[in-house]
Structure 1
Amino acid sequence: MKSKLWFLSSLLYCLCTRAQLPERLQVTADGHYLQYANGQPFFWLGDTGWELFHRLDTAEIKYYLGNRARKGFTVIQAVVLAEFDGLRKPNRYGQLPLLNENPATPNNAYFTLIDSTISWAMQRGMYIGLLPTWGDKVTKLWGEGPVVFDTTNAYGYGKWIGNRYRNHKNIIWILGGDRPAVNDSGDWRPIWRAMARGIKEGTAGQCIIAYHPSGGTNSTSQWLQQESWLDIHMFQSGHGSGHDVACWELVRRDRQYLPAKPTLDAEPNYEDHPVNPWPKWNPDNGYFRDYDVRKQLYRSVFAGACGVTYGHHAVWQFMSAREEAVNYPDRGWMNALDRPGAFQAGYLRRLIAIHGALNRLPDLSLILSGQGEGGGHMEAFRDAAGTYLMVYLPIGKSLQVNTAVIKSAQLNCWWFNPRNAERTSIGMVKQTSAVTLVPPATGVGNDWVLVVEAHP
C-alpha cells in the first residue's frame, strides 16, 4: 500500500529537523560520522554554492538559502576568494576581497557580506562549508589565479579569517578548492598546512577542517591521511568521467585507513551538466539528469559516507544574464533551484534519519543475488543491533537479501521510492534468512530502496 508523498515527507521532515540551531560539530568516536556536540547525529547534505559571496546580492543570497533550507540541505559550500577572477572582479557591492591582491591585507568591506551570510545560514539551521580560497590562488595548474599564497601569508590569512569567525558555530572549514595537494608538478601541502595551522590558532582550536580535491579517483586520504589538522576526508567523483563513477569504492577505500576519518563525495556529477569528458564538456552526449545524480548520492552514502553533496550546474556558478555561462548550462540558476534532483537529495537525508545516521554499517554481503556492475551496482548497509537493513537498487529488479542479520522472526519490509519519497508496504515477511523480493516497477530509471526492519 502506497502512502501519500505529503504524509511521508512531513513525517520524515519532522524526524530530521529538530528545533535546534547549529552548534559545534565533532567526529564520532568510531571516526566514521559527524555529530553535534550534544551527541545528536549530523548528516552532511551539501549544495555547491561556490560563487555565492562573489556573484549574489543580499536579497538573492537570502532567497537561495531559504530554498535550500526548505529542501533539507545542511551545508552550503561557498568560496571566499572565488574561482572566477575572484581577486580582481568585485562582488555585487563593488568590493574586492584583498587590497592589492595581498592576503596580508583583507578588505573588511568585502567580508561584511560573508559575515551576514553565515548568520543567515545559522538562522535557517544550516552550516557554511567555507573555503578560504579557491585552489588556483595556491597552485594555478588551470584557471585564472593568480597564485598569491606562500607558507607565510597562508598562515597569516588563515589566522586572520579563523579569528574573524571564531565565534560562529556553523562553519565547516574546507581547504583545497578543486586542486590536488600533491601531483607530479609539485607538493603544496606546506602551504595548506600553514593555512590550517592559522585557522586552528585563530579559532582557538574550535574548528573542523576538510579538503576539497580535484575530480577523479584521488581522495585526500592519499595525501593527507596523517595530517593532524584534517578532520574529514573528501573526494570528487565529479562530472568528467561519464556515468557511474565508482564513488562507492572511494568511500570504501577511505574507510579502511587508520586513524578513521569521515569521508564524503563533495562533488558528484552535477544535475544538468554535460556528460562529455573534461575538458570538452559540451552537450553532444546529453546532460546528467536527476536519475544520474540519485544513483551517485545514494550509493556513496549507503557505502558508508558521512553524507554527500548535491550540485546543479547552473547554481554553483549562479548563472544569469549578467554572467558569462561556463560549460553550457541549459538554464539560469533561479530556474534551476527546484530541479527534481534537489528535492530528491532531501529525500535521502530524511530516509537516513528514520533509523539514525550514526549506526550504519556498510555490508555488501546482505545482497545474496541480483548484484550488478556499473550503473546496476547496488549498495547496502545495516545496523549492529540487528534491527534494520537497507539496500539501494539503481535499476529495479529481483534481488535476494540476507535477512539473518535481523533479530526477528517476522520482518517488516517496504520499498522507498527515491524519485518521489513514496513508501510501498510489502507487509510482514517470515524470517527465512534469504528473502527474494521484486520492486513495484523494474528496469532502468526505476531505482528503489528496500527497507527491512525487525517486527516489534
Structure 2
Amino acid sequence: MKHLVLYILTAIWLPAAAQLKVSPDKRYLHTSTGKPFFWLGDTAWELFHKLDRREADRYLRDRASKGFTVIQAVVLAELDGLSTPNPYGDTPLIDNDPAKPNESYFKHVDYVVQRAESLGLIVAMLPSWGDKWNKAWGQGPEIFTPQNAKAFGEYLGRRYRKYPIVWVLGGDRHIENAEDRHIIHAMAEGLKSGDGGRHLITFHPTGARSSYDYFKDATWIDFHMSQTGHSQDSRNYRFNRRNLSPVLPHLDGEPRYEDHPNKFKPGEFGWMDDFDARQTAYWSMLSGACGHTYGNHNIWQFYNGSKPVSWARTHWTVALDQPGARQMGFMRRFFEQYNWQSLQPNQSAIGKDNPETPEYEVAATSADGRLLIAYLPYGRKTTINTSMLKTVKLKLSLFNPRDAQILPLGEFKNEGSKSIVPPSEGRGSDWVVVVEGL
C-alpha cells in the first residue's frame, strides 16, 4: 500500500510555483510561506530554442507529472542559439546585440515560462550559455561586455519580475580573467536592478567545479551550484561536504546524464543509465544538498533524429519515459516523507570499512537524533551504527529507489549497531536503509 500511495502522488501531484528564499540556517531553500522547497531540476537547456509551443506543453506536462519542480533552460542557447532561429523563425537578438532583444522571440519564452508556472514549475533561467561571454569552445560568438551584460540582465529582470524564476549565470564555462568576472558581476547587477531582487541567483560552472570556486565572496550569489560531469568516476558528494564559508545552500546542477556516453567514449566505456542517475541523486541528498538536478542526454538538446550532439541516440519524446526520470520523482517523494532539510551528513553511521569505490555508502542523520538514512549503491550487506540515535527502540525498513516499494523489516532494540542484508545486490540493485526512532 505504501508503494501504491507514493506512486499515485508522484503521478498526479503538482507543486505550487512560488518565489524562493534561502532558509535562516543557509542550508536549503524555502517558499515565501516558509515551506521547505525540494529542488528537483531537469536540464532542458534548449527548451526555448528548439521546441514549439505544442512540444513545450508536452515536455512540461510530463515533467510536472513526474514530480519535477524546476526546469533549467537557456535564453541564448548553446546550439547556435544566436543564428539558428526557434521553430517560429525568430532569433533572440537583433544584430546579435544584447541591447536589442527580439520581441517575437521573447514572446515565445514568455509562453513557456507562463505554461511552466501554470503547472507549478519554477524556471531556472540562464540568460546565456557561456560561449557568448567566454568562447573557450562551442559556437559563440562572444557578444557580451560588462555594459551590455548589465543591460541584458535589466531587460530579463524587468520582463520576468512577476514570474517564479531562479537566475542561473554562467553556462558551463570557467572564469578565466577579469573581464569574464566583470561580465558576470554586471549581469547579476542588472538582474537585481530589473527584478528588484525578487529572485535568487546562482552560477552554473563547467565540469568538476562549483560556483563556490569562483564566487564564494560575491554578494549577489544566493546558493551554490556544481557541475559534477558525465562520468561514472564522478563523486558528487565531495562537493556538498566542503566547508563553505560563508555557508550557503548547494546542489548539483549538472550530474551524470541518463543515456549519456560514459566519459564521452561510448565505444570504450559504454553508456550511463538510470542507476548512474539514481546514485548521484542519493549520494547528493545524503551529503547535504538542498536538492538535485537530473539530466537526460537526449532531452537537454531535444534530440529529434538529426544532428546529434555527443552521440545522442534516443528521440527526446521517447527519452521522456526512460526510467531515471520517474525514479527522481520517487526520490523526491521519499525524502519529503521526512524533515529532509534537517538531515546532516554522518558517515559514522556506516559501521564497516567503506572505501570510495562505486559501492561507496553514504548516510545522514536528523538533528533530533530520531532518523538515520543510508544509501547502499550495490545493495551489499552492511552494518549501521545506531548509537547516535536517541531512542531505545527503532524501526527498520528498506526503500527500493527503482520502484518506490517499501520493505518493512520490523522493530528492534537500539543496541548500538544493526546488520542489514538487502534482498538483492550488485550494480543496479541499490537500496535505501531507513532507521526511525520510536
- TM normalised by structure 2 equals 0.97
- For residues 402-421 of structure 1, the aligned pairs below 5 Å read 402-421=385-404
**Among candidates 194, 197, 203, match of residue 189 of structure 2:** 197
Q: Does the alignment pair 1:315 with 2:315? A: no
Q: Contact 1:283–1:328 (CA<8 Å) still a contact in 2? A: no
**Among candidates 305, 316, 337, match of residue 333 of structure 1:** 316
Q: d(CA) in 2 for partners of 1:437 and 1:378? A: 13
Q: d(CA) in 2 for partners of 1:71 and 1:354? A: 17
Amino acid at match of 1:383: S
Query: Which stretch has the larger CA shift, 412-421 or 3-12?
Result: 3-12
Q: Which residue pairs with 2:372 in the alignment?
A: 389
Q: d(CA) in 2 for partners of 1:34 and 1:101? A: 36
- For residues 143-292 of structure 1, the aligned pairs below 5 Å read 143-168=138-163, 170-181=164-175, 183=176, 188-216=180-208, 218-239=209-230, 242-253=231-242, 256-277=243-264, 281-292=265-276
- Residue 6 of structure 1 deviates from its aligned partner by 2.3
Seen in structure 2, the aligned counterparts of structure 1 residues 49 and 283 have a Cα distance that, compared at 3 Å, is farther
Amino acid at match of 1:235: S
Amino acid at match of 1:245: S
Q: d(CA) in 2 for partners of 1:20 and 1:335? A: 25
Q: Does the alignment pair 1:293 with 2:277? A: yes
**Among candidates 409, 415, 426, match of residue 443 of structure 1:** 426
**Among candidates 62, 72, 75, match of residue 80 of structure 1:** 75
Cα deviation, 1:220-266, whole Å, max 9, x if unaligned, reads 11110000001111111111xx313111111111xx12221111111
Q: Which residue pairs with 2:5 in the alignment?
A: 7
Q: d(CA) in 2 for partners of 1:196 and 1:374? A: 39
Q: Which residue pairs with 1:306 in the alignment?
A: 290
- Residue 422 of structure 1 deviates from its aligned partner by 0.6
Q: Contact 1:244–1:296 (CA<8 Å) still a contact in 2? A: no
Q: d(CA) in 1 for partners of 2:138 and 2:30? A: 35
- Residue 282 of structure 1 deviates from its aligned partner by 4.0
Q: d(CA) in 2 for partners of 1:300 and 1:32? A: 14
Q: d(CA) in 2 for partners of 1:197 and 1:75? A: 23
Q: Contact 1:275–1:283 (CA<8 Å) still a contact in 2? A: no
- Superposition RMSD on alpha carbons, in Å? 1.5
Q: Contact 2:261–2:269 (CA<8 Å) still a contact in 1? A: yes
Q: d(CA) in 2 for partners of 1:68 and 1:13? A: 10
Amino acid at match of 1:122: E
**Among candidates 355, 358, 363, match of residue 380 of structure 1:** 363
Q: Contact 2:93–2:101 (CA<8 Å) still a contact in 1? A: yes
- The DSSP-based 3-state class of the residue aligned with 1:368 is coil
Query: Which stretch has the larger CA shift, 355-364 or 130-139?
Result: 355-364
Query: How much identity, in percent, do the aligned residues show?
Result: 42
Q: Contact 1:31–1:259 (CA<8 Å) still a contact in 2? A: no
Cα deviation, 1:34-71, whole Å, max 9, x if unaligned, reads 11111101011110100001010000000000000011
Seen in structure 2, the aligned counterparts of structure 1 residues 12 and 339 have a Cα distance that, compared at 3 Å, is closer
Q: Does the alignment pair 1:368 with 2:351? A: yes
Amino acid at match of 1:128: V
Amino acid at match of 1:399: T
Seen in structure 2, the aligned counterparts of structure 1 residues 62 and 13 have a Cα distance that, compared at 3 Å, is closer
Q: Contact 1:370–1:397 (CA<8 Å) still a contact in 2? A: no
Q: d(CA) in 2 for partners of 1:23 and 1:171? A: 8
- Residue 125 of structure 1 deviates from its aligned partner by 0.8
Amino acid at match of 2:214: W
- For residues 115-134 of structure 1, the aligned pairs below 5 Å read 115-134=110-129
Amino acid at match of 1:306: C
- TM normalised by structure 1 equals 0.93
Q: d(CA) in 1 for partners of 2:75 and 2:267? A: 30
- Residue 12 of structure 1 deviates from its aligned partner by 6.8
**Tell me, which stretches of 5 or more residues in structure 2 are unaligned?**
none
Seen in structure 2, the aligned counterparts of structure 1 residues 386 and 12 have a Cα distance that, compared at 3 Å, is farther
Q: Contact 1:271–1:311 (CA<8 Å) still a contact in 2? A: yes
- The DSSP-based 3-state class of the residue aligned with 2:65 is helix
- The DSSP-based 3-state class of the residue aligned with 2:254 is coil
- Residue 379 of structure 1 deviates from its aligned partner by 1.0
Q: Contact 2:10–2:329 (CA<8 Å) still a contact in 1? A: no
Cα deviation, 1:156-175, whole Å, max 9, x if unaligned, reads 1101110111111x101000
Q: Which residue pairs with 1:454 in the alignment?
A: 437
Q: Contact 1:74–1:125 (CA<8 Å) still a contact in 2? A: yes
- Residue 187 of structure 1 deviates from its aligned partner by 5.2
Seen in structure 2, the aligned counterparts of structure 1 residues 75 and 38 have a Cα distance that, compared at 3 Å, is same
Amino acid at match of 1:338: D
- Residue 186 of structure 1 deviates from its aligned partner by 6.0
Q: Contact 2:18–2:122 (CA<8 Å) still a contact in 1? A: no
- The DSSP-based 3-state class of the residue aligned with 2:199 is coil
Q: d(CA) in 2 for partners of 1:222 and 1:284? A: 32
Seen in structure 2, the aligned counterparts of structure 1 residues 399 and 187 have a Cα distance that, compared at 3 Å, is farther
Q: Contact 2:153–2:194 (CA<8 Å) still a contact in 1? A: yes
- Residue 285 of structure 1 deviates from its aligned partner by 2.3
- Residue 11 of structure 1 deviates from its aligned partner by 5.6
* Shift >6 Å, 4+ stretches: none
Q: d(CA) in 1 for partners of 2:432 and 2:255? A: 20
Seen in structure 2, the aligned counterparts of structure 1 residues 426 and 62 have a Cα distance that, compared at 3 Å, is same
Q: d(CA) in 2 for partners of 1:229 and 1:377? A: 35
